[in-house]
A and B are shown apart, each in its own frame.
Chain A
Amino acid sequence: MILNGKCPAGPLAEKWDRRRNEMKLVSPANKRKYKIIVAGTGLAGASAAATLGELGYNVEAFCYQDSPRRGHSIAAQGGINAAKNYPNDGDSIFRLFYDTIKGGDFRGREANIYRLAVLSNNIIDQCVAQGVPFARDYAGYLENRSFGGVQVSRTFYARGQTGQQLLLGAYGALSRQIKEGTVRLHPRTEMLDLVIIDGEAKGITVRDLVTGKIECYAADAVCLCTGGYANVFHLSTNAMGSNVTAAYRAYKKGAFFANPCFTQIHPTCIPVSGEQQSKLTLMSESLRNDGRVWTPKNKRDRRVPNDIPEAERDYFLERKYPAYGNLAPRDIASRAAKDICDEGRGAGSSGYGVYLDFADAIKRLGENKLRERYGNLFDMYEKITGENAYRQPMRIYPAPHYAMGGLWVDYNLQSNVPGLFVLGEANFSDHGANRLGASALMQGLADGYFIIPYTISDYLAQTAFGKVNEGHPEFRKSREDLETLTKKLLSINGRKTVSEFHRELGRIMWDNVGMERNEESLKKAIALIPGLRTEFWGNVKIPGNGIELNQELEKAGRVADFLEFGELMARDALHRNESCGGHFRTEYQMPDGEARRDDENFCYVAAWEFKGVDKGPELHKEPLVFENVELAVRNYK
């Protein structure tokens, strides 16, 4: 099937306005009669729920944490982009659009990305009005800094806690609606199934994580805002609870999963230190504004960094990418670091790390300036490693971080299932094969504050409200299926813990579907995963029961989905015989080691349809049409 992204016709700059003018509206008196489910209350979900509530819709919002303020967006450190051009350094909406499309290696949708660049400016205005304390200069104006893959300073930030402050803003707006009664909040509640009736998304089934009760919620439309799936690698920068469950179960009900193999490996994370490690911590990319990345020139040089003289250091990003230097984009910087370590020139006792050095910046700016810019990141680094990065360089290494893939959506953020909308990291739409820094926050908020309020009304205006309720047989079936699944998981009573399975899957994924893949490694993953899955269903051990708070049971459901989803990722990576962005196939590279894209054959979105757990999925394509930019070779040299 050829999928239609439903982008409006006409010049790029007019597309969104055109669409907004075409779309149908719901009259104010009717809005409260429509019920909308918002699953997930990170940036995308909280902003969507707040805005839809504010408009007068009847919203039910769900999250697995005890409070929306703890959504994973809270962890974003570095900043959020906008094309304000406050620093007068040549930025514009077009430039933000172009950087994003090029950064994504021309695998994103033009019209979406342009709209994102336009809306970026509204987001900053909105957040300032909400009281987000962005950094200011002495005259009281907003300050900017720079992120990888760009040559202007367009990133707005609140110390190293930008995601926290943006989420608290959205959480405030959401709290206001909860008080008003337009939004009903269900914390500690996990979405486990999507309910489709007569081809339309009409509700979800959830588990109350405190009582264990399985319950159904009917609505006129469903918005999935449940974040990304980088935890399929087990060790990642994501929160422990981040999962693919909501998206994957929607996929099993017919929603297409797009570009699952596009995952981002972030270059600046604290290296792994031990076997029992549970997560990897990101050191914001903004550090590369002032930190210089290097490794020893000589192999297996185990001297402490401060003893290695200048002449024996290789500032490899500055050497290989003189135009962008330390601010080369993430996929490129990650691979460069991995190559160096594979050569045996890695830093630290494990050899899997490179240095991020602030000595020059301290000389130039003074320690205080640095403390002001990145103080909390340095503190965090010290807590985890016990090392003081003002005195000796940080050690960093790439780690799984972000999912560019996600459920397929059209320009209206609607999936191929009518009534199912997908927002934020859970959809695939705006970042192509690689996401530039500081643009995920931007996308989450653009989707929630400024896109969904328009596009969902267009759908609802053509839908009668209250078509079904929880008594419908499809809801009963969904509940019974889940109760059976819970019973099955609890009855296995094998010998291995859920975490053991997750670690094993993570190992397979990292080794074979990680930063570099090839036909052989991908086939290996596709051969190994089903075996592990079978073992899981025969040998996992989950204590306790289903009618109480049971964290092992929660984890088991998520890992069970990862065990299927990992295979889908590998299949997607295997069919894409090219390298682009975060998807690097060793067979497809230029003589100098850069990615070799194949626009002739792969300039499309790969959207997969579920056909059964042990059957291969079916591929549908959405051709990517570039009317306004030329598909160029990505060059950061």
Chain B
Amino acid sequence: MNLTLFIWRQKGPDEKGRLEQYEAKNISAEMSFLEMLDVVNEGLIKNGKEPVAFDHDCREGICGMCSQVINGVPHGPKEKTTVCQLHMRNFKDGDSIYIEPFRARAFPVIKDLIVDRSALDRVIQSGGYISVHTGGVPDANAILLPKENAGTAMDASECIGCGACVAACPNGSAMLFTAAKVTHLAMLPQGKIEAARRVCVMTDAMMNEGFGNCSNHYECQAVCPKGIKVQFIAKLNREFMKAVIHRKGGF
């Protein structure tokens, strides 16, 4: 199939960007969206032009590195699918496709389709873990965990940290991402001890990084490639209320 692409080009964080038009020719339905872009890029290189910079690594939907807005939707049109797992059979011959970077105040553009998502790392660094030292821990089966809780923890911890939820949210909120981590750890006995502190410091970190607030648009859930549910945001809010009620002297 043949496609017309409108791709966001931006030299650097301080430069102005704009959409440029490219043609993608003889694209097979088996190709992934990124392989289609590889073909376009090889063509550009051969013609002495600069290829489009975009982030990617695993190309199997698990590293969370790819990040493109396709026709206005982070990760594109297919539900629960990252860009790298989006295949061209989802498009038709002659389609026009708009490709832009994830946009959010907390994600400055680095170049073309690449944005800086390190704010998400800093939210985790603020306390999104269990503070256990290496060695000297009890036998794994000494901490029992109901199957349902393990299941919910796993549902929440499937988040790949891609940031699509932020990009889709009109407020640029990172609530779904943060809620996923808070829920994952709050479901486990070994995570409960620090739960109150964790939810407070992570919420503060989120605000400090310039992420907006949640006002229930549910756009995050709609684009999340891992099917992380907004129910976890409710869980985050409950954990936060609990923590604030008992909060003494701040964390």
- B56 touches A (CB below 8 Å): yes
> Are B61 and A171 within 8 A (Cβ)?
no
Q: How many A-B residue pairs have CB under 8 A?
A: 211
CA distance A276 to B89 in the complex (A): 15
> Are A159 and B63 within 8 A (Cβ)?
no
B49's partner among A239, A273, A543 (CB-CB below 8 A) is: A543
Of all chain B residues, the one with the shortest Cβ separation from A138 is: B147
Shortest distance between the CB of B247 and any CB in chain A (Å)? 20
Shortest distance between the CB of B246 and any CB in chain A (Å)? 22
> Are A240 and B57 within 8 A (Cβ)?
yes
- A128 touches B (CB below 8 Å): yes
A175's partner among B42, B48, B124, B140 (CB-CB below 8 A) is: B124
CA distance A173 to B125 in the complex (A): 9
Stretch of A70-78, A309-317, A603-611 that contacts chain B: A70-78
Chain A residues, CB < 8 A from B140? 84, 124-125, 127-128, 134, 142
Chain A residues, CB < 8 A from B30? 273-274, 277
Stretch of B168-176, B184-192, B230-238 that contacts chain A: B184-192
CA distance A223 to B172 in the complex (A): 38
Shortest distance between the CB of B198 and any CB in chain A (Å)? 11
B interface size (C-beta, 8 A)? 78
> Are A240 and B61 within 8 A (Cβ)?
no
> Are A86 and B141 within 8 A (Cβ)?
yes
Of B81, B114, B132, B190, most buried by chain A (CB within 10 Å of CB) is B132
Shortest distance between the CB of B32 and any CB in chain A (Å)? 8
- B129 touches A (CB below 8 Å): yes
Shortest distance between the CB of B50 and any CB in chain A (Å)? 5
- A133 touches B (CB below 8 Å): yes
- Which chain A residues numbered 51 to 83 have a C-beta less than 8 Å away from chain B? 51, 54, 65-70, 72, 74-75
- Which chain A residues numbered 108 to 160 have a C-beta less than 8 Å away from chain B? 122, 124-131, 133-142, 158-159
> Are B38 and A72 within 8 A (Cβ)?
no
Q: A66-B117, A86-B141, A450-B135 are in contact. Are A131 and B185 (CB under 8 A)?
A: yes
> Are A279 and B59 within 8 A (Cβ)?
yes
- A497 touches B (CB below 8 Å): yes
Bits for A356-380, please: 1 = Cβ < 8 Å to B, else 0.
0000000000000000000000011
A interface size (C-beta, 8 A)? 79
- B101 touches A (CB below 8 Å): no
> Are B130 and A130 within 8 A (Cβ)?
yes
Chain B residues, CB < 8 A from A122? 135
- Which chain B residues numbered 101 to 134 have a C-beta less than 8 Å away from chain A? 110-111, 114, 116-118, 120-121, 124-134
Bits for A406-436, please: 1 = Cβ < 8 Å to B, else 0.
0000000000000000000000000000000
Shortest distance between the CB of A233 and any CB in chain B (Å)? 15
Of all chain B residues, the one with the shortest Cβ separation from A68 is: B121
> Are A125 and B138 within 8 A (Cβ)?
yes
Stretch of B1-9, B68-76, B154-162, B213-221 that contacts chain A: B154-162
Shortest distance between the CB of A367 and any CB in chain B (Å)? 18
> Are A51 and B111 within 8 A (Cβ)?
no
> Are B143 and A128 within 8 A (Cβ)?
yes
Chain A residues, CB < 8 A from B158? 161, 164
> Are A125 and B137 within 8 A (Cβ)?
yes
> Are B38 and A69 within 8 A (Cβ)?
no
Chain A residues within CB distance 8 Å of chain B: 47, 50-51, 54, 65-70, 72, 74-75, 84, 86, 122, 124-131, 133-142, 158-159, 161, 164-165, 168, 171-173, 175-176, 178-179, 187, 210, 239-241, 273-274, 276-279, 281-282, 379-380, 383-384, 386, 449-450, 453, 495, 497, 499-500, 541, 543-544, 548-549, 551-552
Q: List 27 A-B contacts (CB under 8 A).
A: A66-B118, A68-B121, A69-B124, A74-B63, A125-B137, A126-B135, A126-B137, A128-B137, A128-B140, A129-B132, A129-B137, A133-B153, A137-B147, A138-B146, A140-B145, A172-B129, A173-B132, A176-B131, A240-B59, A274-B30, A278-B35, A279-B59, A281-B60, A282-B60, A450-B135, A497-B45, A543-B49
* 3 nearest A-B residue pairs (beta carbon): A172-B129, A140-B144, A129-B137
Q: Knowing that A65-B63, A66-B118, A130-B130 are A-B contacts, what are 12 other residue pairs whose CB atoms are under 8 Å apart, sorted by A's residue number?
A: A67-B161, A133-B184, A141-B144, A172-B128, A172-B129, A210-B110, A276-B31, A383-B61, A543-B48, A549-B114, A552-B45, A552-B51
